[in-house]
Structure 1
Amino acid sequence: MDFKRTHLFQVLLLLGCLIVLGVKVECQKGSWSFSYVAPSCRAQSVSIAEFGGVGDGTTVNTEAFRKAIEHLSEFSETGGGQLYIPPGRWLTGSFNLTDHFTLYLHKEAVILGSQDLEDWPLIPPLPSYGMGRDAPGPRYSSLINGYNLTDVVITGDNGTIDGQGAIWWQKFHKKILKNTRGYLVELMYSKDIIISNLTFLNSPAWNLHPVYSSNILIQYVTILAPLDSPNTDGIDPDSCSYVRIEDCYVVSGDDIVAIKSGWDEYGISFGMPSQHIVIRRLVGISPTSAIIALGSEMSGGIQDVRAEDIQAINSETGIRIKTSPGRGGFVKDIFVNRMTMVNMKWAFTMTGSYGSHPDNKYDPNALPAVERISYSNIVATNVSVAGKLDGIANAPFKDICLTNVTITMAAKSKKYPWNCTYIHGLSNAVYPQPCSLLEERPAEGDAFCPSPQELDTTEENSLQHCSYSSSH
C-alpha cells in the first residue's frame, strides 16, 4: 500500500506558503514563522539545536531534549515554554515534558526513537493494570512522557515522530522481552492536552496513550504502522474524561481507537472510568482488529461514548465490545451514528468471553454490565458476517438498539449473517434481518434508538491562536 497516496490529510508543497488543518507556516529565505492553536501561548521559545541537538539521524539527543525542557520548565508559571524541532532527524531516547509547554515539529523534522532499549528506562506498571500487558513487573517508559501536567501541546505542521518499532516487534514475537513495551506518547494524571497536526510511525506498541487524564483534544493526526505489527493501537484513552478525537487517519496492526479503564481487580479497585468521549471524522484500516474497540480492559467502566462520521476500510470489525467475567465494570451509553464500512469480516462484534487476565487473583463473579448500546445510520458493503454478538449467560448485554442499518454481504459470506447469544435489544430498518434477540419493531417518530444528551463542555479547551517567528 502507498501510504502517501492514501494519506487523506497530508498536504505537500514544494514552495510558498502552507496552510494545513489549523497550522499556518510561512516560508521565506532566511526566516520562518508558524502559528497554531493552544490553551495558552508561550512566553519563551527555544530550538533543540540551541541545547546541543544534532539532527543527523545518528547522534543521540536525549540529553539535549532533557536540558531544553528543563530550561523551559523555569517558565511554567510565567507564560510557559515552547521547544521547536527544526528540519532534521533527531534521534533520542525517552524524555519527559513539563507544564504549560509546547513541543512543535517543523514539517521536515523527524523525532526518531532510539533502538537501544537502555534509552527507554523502566517504570512501574500502571496501578489500574497491576502489571505490564506484555509481561509482569516494570514496563519500558514511552518515547514522550508527561506526569501530573497541565496545558501540554504536541503539534507541528505534519512533522513526524517515528518509534522505529521493528526491533521491539521482533523481540516481542521471539518472546525475549522481559518487560512491557513503551508507547510513542503517554501522558498520565494530566489535563488540557492537545496532540495535533503530526504523523506518528512505527510505535513499539500503542501510539497515543492518555491515561488518568482529562480535557484532551487529538486532532488532524496520522498514525501508520505495518498491518502485521503487534499491538500498535492508534489512540487509547484510558481512564480519561472529556476526550475529543477528530479528523484522524490511522492504519494499524491492532485497534484504531481502543477505549480502556483498567484490568480486572486492579481496574475495579482504581475505579476511574473513561467517559464523555467524542470520536468523529475518523478513517481507519485494521485487517486484524477493530476501528473502535471498547475494552477489553474496562474494569473501571466506560460510559458516554459518541462516534459519528466514521469510515472503516479493509478491517476486521467496525465496532467491538470486549469483556469477560472477572472484568467487572460497565460499558454503557455508547452511541454510533453515520458509519460506513467497506470490506469487513464483521460489521459488529461483542464478546463476553475475551479472557486475558493479568493473574489468577481476579474474581470470576465480577461480571461486567453492558447496556444502552445504539448503532444508527450504518452502511456496510462486502461483509462476511453482519454481527457476532455474544453476551454472558449470567449477565446478558441489554438495551442494544440498531436502526437504519444496511449491510451488503460478500459473495462468499457466512450462511447465517447474524450470530447472537445472551443479548437483549431492538431493531428497526436493519438488513439483513437481525437475529431474533434484537426484536424488530416499527419506528415511532423520527428517532428509534436513543440519542445522547447534550455533552457538558465546561471542561473543554478555550483555545488561542499562537504564533512564533525567527530569523536565520
Structure 2
Amino acid sequence: MKKTSLHIPVLTFLAAAVLQGTQLTAQVLPTIESPVFRKDTCNILTYGGKADGIALNTVSINKAIDACNKKGGGVVLVPAGLWNTGPIVLKSNVNLHLQKGAVLQFTDDFNQYPLVEGNWEGLPQMRNQSPISAEGQQNIAITGSGIIDANGDAWRMVKKDKLTESQWKKLVASGGISTDGRTWYPSAKALKGSQLKNPGVIEPGKTPAFYDSVKDFLRPNLLVLTRCKKILLEGVIIQNSPAWCLHPIMSEHLTVRNVTVKNPWYAQNGDGIDVESCKNVLIENSTFDVGDDALCMKSGRDEAGRQRGMPTENVIIRNCIVYHAHGGFVVGSEMSGGARNIHVSNCTFIGTDIGLRFKTTRGRGGVVENIYIKDIYMKDIPGEAILFDMYYMAKDPVPLTGEKRDAPKVELLPVTEGTPVFRDIYVSNVVCNGAEKGIFIRGLPEMHIKNIRLENMVIQANKGIDCSEASGIAFNNITLITKESNPVVDVLNSDNLTFNKLLYKDGADLLFRIGGDRTGKIAITNTDASKAKQKIQYEFGASEKSVSLK
C-alpha cells in the first residue's frame, strides 16, 4: 500500500535576523521530519467499541491499535460519541484519529491504571500508567477534531485559596480528605504520599506494597511519549490531566500543530507541554490554558539529568496563545541536561503569571544557551513580563493571599557541576500591557547570568527593571511605562551592562539605583536622564566610577 503524507512537508526555515552586538546574523531553523501513514482505517467499532459513556473501551481501542500496527499501520478511527476507557498504548505507524464529536473520556477508576516505572520532574519514579503512552515507537500521531479528557479532578489535590468558598464547600462535601482545612486530597493514599519526600522515587528498600500505599498520589501525566521518533499531535483538544498534559521525553521529530491544551487554573502541576530532553521539535498555532507552566523546556533534574546528558535542542515555537499559566514560554527548572538552539516567535500571553520565564537553582547544573525570542505580545501579567532567576523556590510565581516569602540568602559558593548557566539569550520586539514588573534578572554570585540582549520593547508595568548578579546584559530601545519610579532601574552587583535608548515617564523619582561593590562598567547612552528628579543613586559600595552616562 502506498504511503501518504498528512499534508505536512519537512520543515526547513530561515529565521529572521537576530541582533548580536551590532551585527545581524541569520539563524537557520532546525528541520523537523513528519510522520506518514497508510490510508487503511481500523474503526474501533469493529473491535467492540461502545460509545455509551459507561462501557470500558480499553480492550477495544488497544485491539484496534494492535491490529493496525500489525498490518503495517494506518488510521485507528474513534467516531463521534462518548468513549469511556482506561490506558491506551500507541504503536508504530498508527494515527489515532478522533472525529469531530468524539470524546475520549478516561475512567476515574484508579484500579485501571497499574503502577509502572516512569519519570517525573526529571527523576526515575513509579507512576500510575498514563492515559496515553508510547515507548520506543516511530511514526505515531493523534489527530482530528475530538476531545481527550483525562478526568484529572479525580486525582488532584486542591488548595482552598484557589477556589471560591462555594467551590471549596462543594469539593469537601464530595468526599476525600482535608485535615487542615487548606488542602483537599481525593483519598487517604493521596494524603499519605503528600506527607513524604519523593515517595515515587525508585530506590532500594521500597517495596510494591509501599508504592501501592501512596498510589493515588503518583498522578500520571496525560500523554507520555518516551524515546519515540516522528510524532504528530494535530487538531485535538487535550484537557483535564491529573498532572502534566503533554510529556514527550527523549524523543525526536515532534510536531504539535493546532492543538488546544486545557487544565483548570487550580490544577497542581497542571503543565501544558513539557518537552524534556527532546530534539527537533515544532510547536505551532496552538492554544494553552493551564494550571502551571504552558510551553516548558526541560532536560532532567540534578545529577540524574546531568548523567542522562540529553539537552532539549532544535526547537521552534511560533504562533501560539497562552492564557492562564505560571509561565508562557518557560525553561526549567529541571534543565540539568541543558537547553539550546530554541526559537520562539509570534506568541501571545494573556494573563499568564509570568511571560518569558527562565528558572533554575543551585544543584541543577546544565547550560541554557542560544535562545532566540522575538515578537511576543503580553497582557495582564500578574508577575514579571520577563524573568531570569537562579533562585527558583518550587513555589507558585505569584504568592497567594496572605502568603509570606523571604528573600533568598545571598552567599558566594564554589562553582561545581551543579552550578547552572544561563547565557547567550536574545529577546526582541516585546509589547507588554500590564505586569507587576517589567524585567527581572537574578543570577548567582558565583555564576552570573551572561550575555543577554533585550531590545525593542514597550512595557507597561508597576515596576521597571531589576538586575542583580549579571554580566554582559544589553538593554536597547526599551520603553518603560511604570507606576512606581523609585527607581525605574535597580542594578546590584552586576557588570558590563549597557542601557541604550531607555525611555521612561517624565518626572520619575529616581532613574537608576546602582548598588554593590562588585558593580562596574555600566554604560548609559542615548538616554535623557534629565527627565528624572534624580538621575542615579549609589549604595552598598557602588560609586560614580561604576557608571558612564553619555
- TM-score band by shorter chain is 0.7 to 0.9
Determine the structure 1 residue equivalent to 2:368.
331
Residue 356 of structure 1 and its aligned partner are, at CA, apart by 5.3
| Structure 1: 5+ residue stretches without partners | 1-20, 24-36, 133-137, 358-362, 444-472
Aligned mates of 1:89, 1:127 — CA distance in 2: 30
Residue 314 of structure 1 and its aligned partner are, at CA, apart by 1.1
Return the index of the structure with the highest Cα Rg. 2
Structure 1 counterpart of 2:91, from 86, 98, 104: 98
1:188 correspondence with 2:176:
no
Q: Is the 8 A contact 2:121 2:334 kept in 1?
A: no
Cα-to-partner distance string for 1:362-381 (whole Å, 9 max, x where unaligned): x9761011101111000001
Structure 2 counterpart of 1:59, from 50, 55, 75: 55
Aligned mates of 1:51, 1:125 — CA distance in 2: 29
| Structure 2: 5+ residue stretches without partners | 1-5, 9-32, 158-175, 177-182, 194-213, 396-414, 481-487, 503-550
Determine the structure 2 residue equivalent to 1:259.
297
Determine the structure 1 residue equivalent to 2:380.
343
Structure 2 counterpart of 1:440, from 472, 488, 499: 499
Q: Is the 8 A contact 1:128 1:269 kept in 2?
A: no
Determine the structure 1 residue equivalent to 2:104.
111
Determine the structure 1 residue equivalent to 2:516.
none
Determine the structure 2 residue equivalent to 1:147.
135
Aligned mates of 2:43, 2:270 — CA distance in 1: 30
Structure 1 counterpart of 2:260, from 211, 222, 230: 222
Structure 2 counterpart of 1:244, from 269, 273, 282: 282
Determine the structure 1 residue equivalent to 2:467.
420
Cα-to-partner distance string for 1:105-163 (whole Å, 9 max, x where unaligned): 0111000111011212211133993344xxxxx1112111111111101101x210011
Give the residue type in structure 2 aligned to 1:115. Answer: D
Structure 2 counterpart of 1:198, from 233, 236, 239: 236
Secondary structure of 1:169's match?
coil
Structure 2 counterpart of 1:124, from 106, 117, 120: 117
Determine the structure 2 residue equivalent to 1:16.
none
Q: Is the 8 A contact 1:96 1:146 kept in 2?
A: yes
Aligned mates of 1:421, 1:199 — CA distance in 2: 41
1:391 correspondence with 2:391:
no
Give the residue type in structure 2 aligned to 1:53. Answer: G
Secondary structure of 1:236's match?
strand
Cα-to-partner distance string for 1:401-433 (whole Å, 9 max, x where unaligned): 101011012xxx24xx22221112111101226
Secondary structure of 1:276's match?
strand
Aligned mates of 1:82, 1:249 — CA distance in 2: 25
Residue 295 of structure 1 and its aligned partner are, at CA, apart by 0.5
1:381 correspondence with 2:433:
yes
Residue 129 to residue 408, structure 1, CA distance change in 2 (3 Å): closer
Q: Is the 8 A contact 1:128 1:267 kept in 2?
A: no
Q: Is the 8 A contact 2:57 2:85 kept in 1?
A: yes
Secondary structure of 2:141's match?
strand
Secondary structure of 1:50's match?
helix
Give the residue type in structure 1 aligned to 2:423. Answer: E
Residue 39 of structure 1 and its aligned partner are, at CA, apart by 2.5
Aligned mates of 2:124, 2:445 — CA distance in 1: 29
Residue 81 of structure 1 and its aligned partner are, at CA, apart by 2.5
Q: Is the 8 A contact 1:241 1:274 kept in 2?
A: yes
Residue 259 of structure 1 and its aligned partner are, at CA, apart by 0.6
Determine the structure 1 residue equivalent to 2:460.
408
Cα RMSD of the aligned pairs, angstroms, is 2.3
1:166 correspondence with 2:203:
no
1:270 correspondence with 2:308:
yes
Q: Is the 8 A contact 2:37 2:94 kept in 1?
A: no
Give the residue type in structure 2 aligned to 1:418. Answer: I
Residue 248 to residue 43, structure 1, CA distance change in 2 (3 Å): closer
Q: Percent identity?
A: 30
Aligned mates of 1:38, 1:293 — CA distance in 2: 25
Secondary structure of 2:335's match?
coil
Determine the structure 1 residue equivalent to 2:171.
none
Aligned mates of 2:120, 2:258 — CA distance in 1: 31
